[in-house]
Structure 1
Amino acid sequence: MIKQRHLSLRDQTSQEAKLMDSKDIIEKFEGSMIQHGSYNDRIYLIKLAPEAPSTTPCNLVDLAIKNNYSKIFAKVPECHSALFLARGFKEEARIPGFYDGKIAAVFLGFYLNVERAAEPDLVKMNKILKTALEKQVAKSKCHLSGDTTLRICNKADAITIADLYNTVFQSYPFPIDDPAYIINTMKSNIDYFGIETSGRLVAVSSAEMDKQSCNAEMTDFATLPEYRGKGFAQCLLLQMENAMKNKGIKTAYTIARAMSAGMNITFSKAGYQFGGRLKNNTNISGNIESMNVWYKNLTE
């Protein structure tokens, strides 16, 4: 039985989630936690309750039909995946050792129309993935100049972080352009990391920890356009890994845009393994995009 974890802001009640303007709501569904709405045009099963009824997969499909959503995206422990597969869900990705370094997480997709399942950019995405995988032979490096520093961010940085995200992303599945959201997540289980050049915050990222399950999502990477090409994402990731190891995190992972060569290469060069692709999954940078899953065992 999988232990319940402390809920992060991303897993809060629907009353709080409804305050996240223009983003999908997060609420309980038969004891499990889901996110759903027209913003991502999907249902996302964030956390399956250990006591969830066997009818949950069917009832999720019913909810999607009722709301005219085009996809259901479910993240479940491997031991519970058979129920979803029997209902017509398809495995799209998996992360070994996701739960306490022992049990794999399976990422499943269910499509309610053919358009959502189609990937017109498949050739380009496969080319990007091939290039990223070829970079695994290279060792991850970090070089910062004398006037550039890397540090953990604090509440005083919230406005600057939100402004940076607002500059970089046309859209994002969570309200990271809201300083209040940044502060609230800092109080729960998300650590933000930043790179400063001449006293200006020019790149940020975050590590969202599930401390009970001992995993962390390395996410929310953003660099101001004029500072790209300097390897800042690689430096942030290396620092985040060290910080997570010190906090007892066993598995690190990310869900990166399949069309972003830079981010896929960054994780591949850092020794992450490719876990699969989530088709047309996330509203990010102005479009619904496919996402690549990468993971790494931090205990090795």
Structure 2
Amino acid sequence: MQPDQVKKIDNSIVQHGPANDRVYLMKLSHDDLPDIVGKVYDLGRQHGYTKLFAKVSADAAPHFTKYGFVDEARVPNMYKGESAGLFMCKYLDQDRSVPGNITRISEVLNCAEGQDTVPAPSGSEVRIERLRLGDVEALAALYDTVFETYPFPMHDPNFVRECMEDETVFFGIYSEDKLVAAASAEMDTDWQCAEMTDFATLPEYRGNGAATHLLYHMEDALADLDIHTLYTIARAESFGMNIVFSRCGYTFGGTLHNNTQIAGKLESMNVWHKQIGTR
């Protein structure tokens, strides 16, 4: 299945397409308010999508509420360290608003929130490097191996290169000269926040805490880049990453119902967030 397309509507950026069966307002330009809300709605209706999804600052939320959007998750101080960021949605098909496996989702969340925070590992035994343009082929190959499908075309070296040239920083763990795990921090320097995402580890190297090593390493790097708030959107039915973020001191912010297509099916996603100091 082809990944959904990313395009601009006026000065805002949206992703839309049949893979996720939604319109996702990824980057709102306040200059586009209030008309952008109607344009997102019209795009969803035009293509017959079942969900509209938007990441907005708290001051913009009333414009979306007028169109029937509700917030599914909230991240305090996400916008410039001053006000909350909201993940808002409107279902154009109410069947999509009901998670398919609510029992599993509840079990994962209860388990994750019951975890004790763990200190950052020393990292002396792990070789973590910031990945550069020369690493895009290896990085794309890693994602192609780990994920059957993914919300964005991370298997495409050209797409990975575009991400690096924008505001996304990638880090990887090497075993000898082989890239065995990676993750990224997708920075929004305007909002002064970053999404901690794209965690992937080759199957034969799992069970060694790669995600925890990468997460703490990225946090340390972002402290030098005037980033105040970190967040992630993790698969709600997966114990692994929810536990990792909880153990690393992140707070649960809400569940996005049937939000993201992964491995051929729509999955609900949990939002976790954390404040960090800057240096």
What is the TM-score when the length of structure 2 is the normalising length? 0.94
From 250, 258, 263, the equivalent of 1:280 is 258
* Contact 1:149–1:196, Cα closer than 8 Å, also in 2: yes
Q: Any idea what SS the aligned residue of 1:236 has?
A: helix
Q: What residue is the counterpart of 1:256 in the other structure?
A: 234
Instruction: Please report how far the alpha carbon of residue 83 of structure 1 lies from its aligned counterpart in structure 2 after TM superposition.
Output: 2.0
Q: Secondary structure at the match of 2:40?
A: helix
C-alpha RMSD over aligned residues: 1.7
- The Cα offsets for residues 225-262 of structure 1, whole Å up to 9 and x where unpaired, read as 11111111000000000000011111111111111111
Q: 2:113 — aligned with what?
A: 133
* Secondary structure at 2:34 match in 1: coil
Contact 2:30-2:60 within 8 A present in 1 as well? no
2:41 counterpart residue number: 61
Task: State the alpha-carbon separation in 2 of the partners of residues 212 and 62 from structure 1.
Answer: 27
**Equivalent in the alignment of 2:216:** 238
Q: Could you tell me which residue of structure 2 aligns to residue 222 of structure 1?
A: 200
Distance 1:179 1:55, change over 3 A: closer
Alignment of 1:99-138 (within 5 A): 99-135=79-115, 137-138=116-117
> How far is 1:212 from its partner?
2.3
Runs of 4+ in structure 1 deviating by more than 3 angstroms, as ranges, are 143-146
Note the residue ranges of structure 1 that are not aligned, 5 or more in a row.
1-20
1:151 aligns with one of 129, 137, 140: 129
Do structure 1's residue 294 and structure 2's residue 272 form an aligned pair? yes
Separation in structure 2 between the aligned mates of residue 207 and residue 180 of structure 1, nearest angstrom: 18
Q: Distance in 2 between matches of 1:131 and 1:181?
A: 35
Shift of 1:143: 5.8
| Offset, 1:174 | 1.0
| Contact 1:42 1:69 survives alignment (8 Å) | yes
Aligned-residue sequence identity (percent) comes to 42
1:43 to 23, 29, 37: 23
* Pair 28,155 (structure 1): closer, same or farther in 2 beyond 3 Å: closer
Q: Which moved more, 1:119-128 or 1:277-286?
A: 277-286
Q: How does 1:138-217 map to 2 (within 5 A)?
A: 138-142=117-121, 146=125, 148-217=126-195
Question: SS of the counterpart of 1:138?
Answer: coil
Extract unaligned runs of 5+ from structure 2.
none
Alpha-carbon distance between aligned partners in 1 of 2:130 and 2:33, rounded to the nearest angstrom: 41
Q: In structure 1, what is the equivalent of residue 76 of structure 2?
A: 96
Partner residue of 2:4 out of 21, 24, 31: 24
What is the aligned residue count? Answer: 278
Aligned to 1:73: 53
